[in-house]
Amino acid sequence: MSIPLPINANTENLREAIQSKHINIPNRLSIQPMEGFDAKLNGSPSELTYRRYTRYAKGGAGLIWFEATAISEDCRSNDHQLILTEENVNNFKELTSLTRTQANQTLESLGFKNRCRLILQLNHSGRYSKRNGKKNPIRAYHNDELDNAISVKREDGIIISDEELKEIRDIWVNKAILAKDAGFDGVDIKACHGYLISELLSAHNRKNSEYGGSSLENRSKLLIEIITKLQNKFRKDSGFKVTSRIGAYDGIPYPNGFGVKSIANQTFPASVDLEEPIELINKLYELDVKLLNITAGNPHYKGYITRPYDIPVKGGRLPKEHPLFSAYRIIYLTSVIKSLISQDMIIVGSGYTYFRQFAGNLASGLIQRGMVDICGFGRMSFANPEFAKQIFQGKTIDKAKACISCSKCSQFMREGKSTGCAVRDPEYINRE
């Protein structure tokens, strides 16, 4: 197998700031949103939450993209997922203040002048919602294969109505406004990994609906309506950024996939077709969205597209394709998107953790060639939150601290436990 990966020995370009009229980011490395499932039952951050973000803040990444935070209690995927509310906004203010202060101290010690940026991801878990610990799928449309993957029946949960989507739209807008009050620099309207907005993007089979069918305009309507309302709400000089993490390809065959060719009877993973994702991104650009985070796959269904691994979760299987190819797919998709959209759109890429101690060298090569603007790390941030500092100080990630793609953090998530690295983090070692 031959896969072209640009590797740089010199990673100095990762220190370069993103400086534009839209946003300033101190360097080219980011913490990706990774649910810790360690919130209090009321959705407020716990001591474990504070611990994680303090560790991230000490790590030197210029962008910290906070984890998926539910817009309401009814749409959490775990009873210990964060929820932002009027009642706990002061707790989030404390979290952002402490994170920002520590991150800026770390950046200054590493020679950076610009301040760290904090983005909050807001989500509705959709098909993967739970209520009181029990699965309560809120679907955009029926898909028995996705139901089977999480052991729910067709009669469980609901198909959400257009009127309910409009109610959710308004809740989402209000929570994004609250995120600004909580001290974040921007908000991500999550549109990836099979959650509600992501599922709507693939809702060809949602008939007689304003939010589904053959038209991408309809299938993307909820996302566009939320972002339009927010852009109208915030003044351009407010500095608050509205963004999204977009699942550009989920691999699920047509008509239930997004970013796939419209060909019947394909098998998973379906052939890539980025026409609709690029059309959506161009529409977001017209709405003055100038920062996007690109990912792929559905971690609840054949998760190797999203997070390539060498060891599967308990009871899982290794995929037929090599994880190196899975990792390359995300890199390739991101580079194609980057080449076909306006160049002042800042793109955060995903999937680099699999490359372990060489990930910084790869990130440097990709950025040098204009294939991405910022490289984001998810599982690596659990295992080794100081990966960025290691790159800036020693040019490479410490092999003895790197993520080994063992899927144990994914196993914690699957079991509904608080999540971290069972190999590298003393807090989670021996928790199995």
Q: What is the pLDDT of residues 232-255, one digit of tens each?
A: 999 776 789 999 999 999 999 999
Q: How confident is the model at residue 1 (pLDDT cuts 50, 70, 90)?
A: low
In a domain, 428, yes or no: no
Q: Average pLDDT over the chain, rounded to whole?
A: 97
Six token digits for residue 183: 């001290």
Residue type, 250: D
Angle at 378 between CA 375 and CA 380, to 5 degrees: 95
The answer to whether the CB of 269 falls within 8 A of the CB of 318 is: no
Q: CB-based burial of residue 78 (10 Å sphere; 0-12 exposed, 13-18 middle, 19+ buried)?
A: buried
| Confidence (pLDDT) at 21 | 82
Question: What separation in angstroms does the CA of 32 have from each of 90, 238, 283?
Answer: 24, 24, 24
Helix (H) or strand (E) holding 335: helix 323-340
In a domain, 220, yes or no: yes
Q: Is the model's pLDDT at 387 over the cut of 90?
A: yes
The pLDDT > 70 percentage for the chain reads 99
Q: Looking at the domain assignment, is residue 350 inside a domain?
A: yes
Q: How many CB atoms lie within 10 A of CB 344?
A: 10
State the SS3 of 63-79.
EEEEEEEECCHHHCCCC
Close Cβ partners of 116 (under 8 Å, ≥ 6 residues apart):
26, 57, 61, 62, 63, 64, 99, 100, 103, 104, 107
Are 346 and 20 in contact by the 8 Å Cβ rule? The answer is yes
Residue 321 has pLDDT above 70, yes or no: yes
pLDDT value at position 336? 98
Q: What are the distances in angstroms from CA 348 to CA 87, 208, 312? A: 32, 35, 26
Task: Determine the longest span between alpha carbons in the chain, in angstroms.
Answer: 57
Residues 33-57 pLDDT 10s = 999 999 999 999 999 999 999 999 9
- pLDDT, one tens digit per residue, over 329-359 is 999 999 999 999 999 999 999 999 999 999 9
Residue 429 lies in a domain: no
Q: Which domain holds residue 296?
A: 12-403
In a domain, 273, yes or no: yes
Dist CA 25 CA 20 (whole Å) = 9
Phi, psi for 146 (deg, rounded to 5)? -70, -35
Would you tell me how many other CB atoms lie within 10 Å of the CB of residue 94?
Answer: 15
Question: What's the pLDDT band for 67 if we cut at 50, 70, 90?
Answer: very high
Q: In this structure, are residues 374 and 399 in contact, taking their beta carbons and an 8 Å threshold?
A: no
210 confidence band (pLDDT: 50, 70, 90): very high
The neighbour count for residue 207, using CB atoms within 10 Å, is 10
Q: Is 20 a residue whose pLDDT tops 90?
A: no
Domain presence at residue 309: yes
Check pLDDT > 90 for residue 185.
yes
Q: What is the pLDDT of residues 363-383, one digit of tens each?
A: 999 999 999 999 999 999 999
Do residues 410 and 300 make contact, with C-beta atoms less than 8 angstroms apart?
no
**Residue 401 three-state SS:** helix
Query: What digits encode the pLDDT tens for the residues 269-320?
Result: 999 999 999 999 999 999 999 999 999 999 999 999 999 999 999 999 999 9
3 belongs to a structural domain: no
Residue 71 and residue 172 in contact, taking contact as beta carbons nearer than 8 Å = yes
- The 10 Å Cβ neighbour count of residue 256 is 19
Q: Is residue 123 part of a domain?
A: yes
Q: What is the pLDDT of residues 126-154, one digit of tens each?
A: 999 999 889 999 999 999 999 999 999 99
pLDDT tens, position by position, 71-102: 999 999 999 999 999 999 999 999 999 999 99
Number of structural domains found in the chain? 1
Q: CATH number for the domain including 110?
A: 3.20.20.70
